[in-house]
Amino acid sequence: MMTDTFAQTAPFTILFLPLLGMLVIAVVGPRVHRAASAAIANLAVLGAFALTVALALDVWHRPPSDQVLTVTYPPAWAAHQQFWAHIPPLTVSFELRIDGLSLAWMLIVTGVGFLIHLYSVGYMLDSRWYRTFFAYMNLFIFAMLLLVMAGNFLWLLVGWGGVGLASYLLIGFDMHRPAAVAAARKALIMNVIGDVGIMLAMFLLFAHFGSLSYKEIFANVTAAGTPALNWIGIWLLLGAVAKSAQLPLHTWLPDAMEGPTPVSALIHAATMVTAGVYLVARAHPIYDHAPAAAQAVAVVGCATAFFAATIGCVQYDIKRVLAYSTMSQIGYMVLAVGVGAYAAGTFHFITHAFFKALLFMAAGIIIHNLGGEQDIRNMGGLARRLPFAFWAFLVGTLALCGVFPFSGFFSKDAILDQLLVLHHPVLWAFGTATAALTAYYMFRLLFMTFFTGGFRGKAQTHAGTVASMSVPVALLIGLALVGGWIVVPGHDGLTPLLRAAFADTGTMAALDHFSGIVSLAALGAGLVGFVAAYLLYERPSGLRPTLRRSLQPVRNLLANAYYVDATYHWLFEVPVLTLASDIARYLDPEAVAGGAAAVARTATAAGDAVRLWEAGYVRRYGLSMLVGVVIVLALFLYLAGGTAALGGR
């Protein structure tokens, strides 16, 4: 009984501690010392982490049948159950779902989240908006916890939108820089596209199940036919793709590096961008019965993993390389959950959170010490000047490249192994090839930053790594090393923790299946990438200039990220903005107001109305034609009832 009370109340405490932290900072922040704001924010997240650990231990010590908790507010015995919406037949209540899957995410969000809060205490010290920063960070943790703890799709979307807001605020944190403002705008708009995808999925879920609750939908998921489930899966994928920066809605993530480095580490590497992986894993009963949608997930993940890795090979901004690396690694996770290897995807999320946060924080130390320099062409030889950052970066790189016995080896191996076990040889081949590219771009980054001759920049280094920055980095060095040891050959410590959450999935294979071919192929691919980077950057010869010349077109293509940004600019941005400004400047003042005036004039002199149109410009004719076309099209769509095209009934 005692533990039950704890399990019923702890989730709320965990969830609302960071929100409380934000509110306290917002209200009393200006009146207290800035250090107090940082302390409040840190304690809120630390408290949430401690409670999450206690809750996890409590849940995982129960019998498997008892490891899925649903907590509702108001409690189940209260008469009034509909906290959010109550418009029969639609009812949505406030419910949380705690199981192995959400606990894995909660532990990382609060645990790694706390380390990054601690790191920020030192990193953001020079910021004018120090308190605001911590308020936003706490807001983010709250929203992210809501996202992973929600017990229905509605509250998931509230968390989903909340992390989007926090991400927007923190990318644009340096609000006087136009680049940061533009990057923040881009991130939010692309994420709203994803939100719309999730909304569409919910419309279909409501149509087919009459509910938005995980419990009710997943319990009779087969009540909807495969076509419907495929559409639901596709629309959910749209949301996942936008949030996790997968193809084709990935272009906001590299720009998001305009945010302060702790933000990149927390939101744009360790936690928020993996929300798409969480979503697919959470909606696994749908994907299990939606083969086409699941296949789309896997293909998107695989394509992104490869595509982002190729771009990472030619970037010069230390954070942008890491951003493309994040896209690529999340591609692996999406690939894993797409083929049904949910545990492997979750595993890679955990280890990736450790080593990618470590890499960003090490990069942050470098940037901090070089006075904001991020271009690796202006670095070099830093191993001697910043040895701590070097060792941290080296461990992170080895883990990311999947070198035994670092954490990344185990998780990446688990994914690649499952691909072969589940008979996806093509996806496996791309995954292994991506491992080679990963090793190449990471060691290229490492060499150019820390070796490759001497220091090439002008900025003077000033040893300014305070304890609050080095302590979390040191801890993450340890985690990046040992974090993967939960799964070793012969012992799988992770799958049993997740099994209850995936009780309805048949394909829950253990992760401790290591096959020599997969491991050797991945390690061999990594070695190829390493040797290529070494030869090109550490052994000066005629090779590099020659390659550069002959591969110039490819380089241009990659350096411009396959011109996706430019394509979107001409395909969407320019037409919409042109149309919008034409409406605001010409159509509305002239045609609508003028048209109304013309109607008035018709009463007195019918001819005047005609002249207004005949005396017009080409543009005016064009616009009136456009309006006509839109109206006819809308009529046609209405009459044709083109519902099938949209995945309707």
- Least distance in angstroms from the C-beta of 98 to other proteins: 21
Residue among 262, 244, 272, 259 nearest 108 (CA): 272
Q: For residues 292 and 471, which CB has a smaller minimum distance to other proteins in the complex?
A: 292
Q: Count residues contacting other proteins (CB under 8 A)?
A: 77
What's phi and psi for 491, nearest 5 deg?
A: -145, 120
The sign of the CA dihedral 270, 273, 279, 281 is negative
- Of 27, 78, 193, 482, the one binding other proteins by CB under 8 A: 193
Q: What is the DSSP letter of 440?
A: H
CA atoms of 572 and 562, how far apart (whole Å): 17
Question: Residue 635, interface with other proteins (CB under 8 A)?
Answer: yes
Q: How far is the CB of 396 from other proteins (least distance, A)?
A: 33
> Of 20, 43, 90, 474, which one interacts with other proteins (CB under 8 A)?
90
Q: Applying CB under 8 A, which part among 170-178, 372-380, 398-406, 410-418 lies near other proteins?
A: 170-178
Which of 86, 377, 569, 619 binds other proteins (CB under 8 A)? It is 86
Crossing angle between the packed helical segments 100-123 and 467-482, to the nearest 10 degrees: 150
Task: Decide: is 629 part of the binding site for other proteins (CB under 8 A).
Answer: no
Does 455 engage in binding with other proteins (CB under 8 A)? no
Residue 202 found at the interface with other proteins (CB under 8 A): yes
Least gap, CB of 589 to other proteins (angstroms): 8
- Positions 42 through 81 that interact with other proteins (CB under 8 A): none
Give the three-state DSSP class for 491.
Answer: strand
Verify binding: residue 312, other proteins, rule CB under 8 A: no
510-539: contacts with other proteins (CB under 8 A): none
Report the alpha-carbon angle 104-110-116, nearest 5. Answer: 125
Tell whether residue 371 is a contact of other proteins (CB under 8 A).
no
Nearest distance in Å: CB 147, other proteins: 10
Q: Which of 37, 120, 152, 211 binds other proteins (CB under 8 A)?
A: 211
Structure tokens at 645: 């095209």
Output phi, psi for 373, to 5 deg: -70, 130
Range 318-347, binding other proteins (CB under 8 A):
none
Maximum distance among all alpha carbons in the chain?
92
The two three-digit tokens of residue 476, written as one number: 């993450």
Q: Considering the complex, what minimum distance in angstroms separates the CB of residue 188 from other proteins?
A: 6
Q: Which helix (H) or strand (E) holds 499?
A: helix 495-499
Structure-token pair, residue 578: 């042109």
| Beta carbon nearer to other proteins, 164 or 472 | 164
List residues bridging with 94 in a β-sheet: 73
Q: Which of residues 589-618 bind other proteins (CB under 8 A)?
A: 589, 592-593, 595-596, 600
CA distance 319 to 376: 10
- Position 262 contacts other proteins (CB under 8 A): no
Q: Minimum distance between the CB of residue 226 and other proteins, rounded to whole angstroms? A: 10
Query: Rule CB under 8 A: is residue 472 a binding residue for other proteins?
Result: no
Asked if 88 touches other proteins (CB under 8 A), the answer is yes
CB closer to other proteins, 137 vs 343: 137
Helices within 551-617 (DSSP H only):
552-559, 564-568, 574-582, 593-604, 606-614
623 binds other proteins (CB under 8 A): no
CB-based burial of residue 299 (10 Å sphere; 0-12 exposed, 13-18 middle, 19+ buried)? middle
- Indicate the SS3 state at residue 94: strand
Q: 3-state secondary structure string, 391-418?
A: HHHHHHHHHHCCCCCCHHHHHHHHHHHH
CB of 628 to other proteins, least distance (A): 12
Residues 555-594 that bind other proteins (CB under 8 A): 576-577, 579-585, 588-589, 592-593
Q: Can you read off the two tokens belonging to residue 398?
A: 């080895």
Per CB under 8 A, 162 contacts other proteins: yes
The answer to whether the CB of 349 falls within 8 A of the CB of 334 is: no
Nearest distance, CB of residue 169 and other proteins, angstroms: 8
Taking contact as CB under 8 A, which single stretch among the options 297-305, 331-339, 347-355, 631-639 is the one that binds other proteins?
A: 631-639
Interaction residues for other proteins, span 110-139 (CB under 8 A): 132
What tokens appear for 570 in the block? 């001409």
CB of 384 to other proteins, least distance (A): 39
Among 184, 279, 290, 389, binds other proteins (CB under 8 A): 184
Query: Virtual CA dihedral for 34, 35, 41, 42, nearest 10 degrees?
Result: 160
**Which two tokens mark 525?**
């691919």
Q: Which of 95, 195, 413, 492 binds other proteins (CB under 8 A)?
A: 195
For residue 521, which amino acid is it? A
Q: Does 502 bind other proteins (CB under 8 A)?
A: no
